[in-house]
Structure 1
Amino acid sequence: MSAERRRMSVTLRGVSVVIEGPPEAIARLEVLFGLAAEGSAGEARAHLELLRTEPRLALPRRAVADQVVQRGVVYNLDGTTWVRHHGWAVTEYDFAAERGRITGLEIDDLVELAYLAALSRLGALLERAGYVRIHAAAFRRGERGALFLAPSGGGKSSLVHRLLHADDVHILGDDVALLDRRGRLHPFPTSVGVRDPDAAEGLGAVHPFPRRFHGLKWVVDSRALADRFADAPARLERVYLGRWVSAPPSRARAASMRERLGAVSRELVVGAGLPQVVELVIPRGARDAPTQLPSLLRRLGAAAQVLASARALTLEVHDPAALGALVMEDLGHD
């Protein structure tokens, strides 16, 4: 196999993760990270090396596994985590040095594992810099920012597709956004997910993203949509909560406190649905829970800001096309 190597940086709010690996893998990662891979590199806080070779688990001594997760068996020794991905890849990560290595024979596996590892470590490093991630579609109109919260498959990407055609609405994130200590929304401009190539009509070229456990995903490179993405933070004024209903009408109504607490807790405090791998966040499982207290406090603070600063509406949706119409109407469009 070719020994040729390429490097790229994924940069958000001045924090960078550097990835080095086979040119084909790097080219595909540049598509997935989109605009986040295009800007000036910030301070390199983490490094990932991808090696297309036979994966071998090489611990310095015998160890008992700390976790068995969907993606593999997790071992920890002396501040380094190893994940044996059921024979098809191995991830090794030194947390003190913030350096990792992923080995495997298949480019698809290297790309998926590198994407998730980079997002996992980037999220942790951004938290230390004062930014927390929320699993949501995020957008702005003028200075007003908004979030749409729904579980995976709940319509976030469909809404983003509708908003990409609205001239005065700009996207902050298709599936993830950042919140700072003041509750402002910041861009997380990775590429836009689509159900299938036909759903991307008018948006640009569609690229496949094979995933071992979650099927094939299609994405549109956010670099091709640069003029539709926001490049500055926005004041959070609206939070929309997605709820699907079995029959019409589709409508917007004031969200109850219970609904607001449930959605914000799920998508921000817990971070359900965030693209990451648990073994690079809490490598020892439950034993690492106490170390997550600072992170929990940061996320609780951000949740309090969201609940206090933004008006919340529940969108009861029967027809997917109505979702965009409800948001556009509330934002002041005809």
Structure 2
Amino acid sequence: MPTPPEPGRPEPSDDETLSQRRQLVGLAYRLLGSVAEAEDAVQETYSRWYALSPQQRDAVDNHDAWLTTVAGRVCLNLLGSARARRETYVGEWIPEPLPGQTRWVSGRPGAAVVDPADRITLDESVHLAFMVVLESMTPAERVAFILHDVFCHTFAEVAEIVGRTPAACRQLASSARRRVRASRSPGTAARSPASAAQRAGVVREFKQAWEAKDIDALIGLLDPAATAVADGGGRAITFPRPIEGGERIAAAWIEIARRKPDSMTFLERTVNGQPGVVAQQDGAVVTVFAFDVSGDRIQHIWVVRNPEKLRHWTVGRDAVP
């Protein structure tokens, strides 16, 4: 139960409120995989806060904990309906990619990816590869795992949000970790992790080989078991099913290069904190390409063309923290 506040306890400052909101949107994005849905969830959270009477707000001992608890519950409810909507989604569903709004540094020795610290926290929990794994979890697993393993909440706190016992939440998080481990193929696990400079270098070489229509170079940069998945949402033309195998992906990318309009340009951009590529046409981003690199090979490519998921890229709004 909340304890009475100290007399005259001040309301959070504007800077504190902004920082707090950014953290809540970051939490909600990891839980929902959609910036729009995350912003809606946080808006609902603050609506519930301001629906309290001044006396009720004053009785909340920990403002941050209250907001996190409510945001977690709102997201848990939204996850159930989101899973139902995605069953009728046209084609493959990929989490909404986050813009970095900056070019990434080249793969020169000692170079690193530009860190837009004022826009996004570059940790594994926002990498698109990680976000895709989260989609395989049940809503309760996802909430327990993100709150405990990423945001460091205790299982007692998670239990209050999920509505289960701390022991049950511990099991949910454990099950989620097993899904994360299972997502790493034996071939991927055998490769040494790529540094930021290595990832940037591989993606840059891929972009250059793609623009040069050099299929042999593309094949050399792709893992033989690589996969490519595209999300058009029924609103943009793309390949309808995942492409499996490095040679088939290379052939598909050569065909894309051949059909590319003269007005379209490929640009190096940060995607969810990782080196990526975007296609820009008439000043608007029409496609985002995200890559999962292990060692010196590309394991996965995610292609997002659904314009609803690219609004943040065109209008230049800040990404999720």
TM-score by length of 1: 0.23
Structure number with greater Rg is: 2
Higher relative contact order (CA 8 A, sep 6+): 2
TM-score by length of 2: 0.23
More helix by share: 2
More strand by share: 1
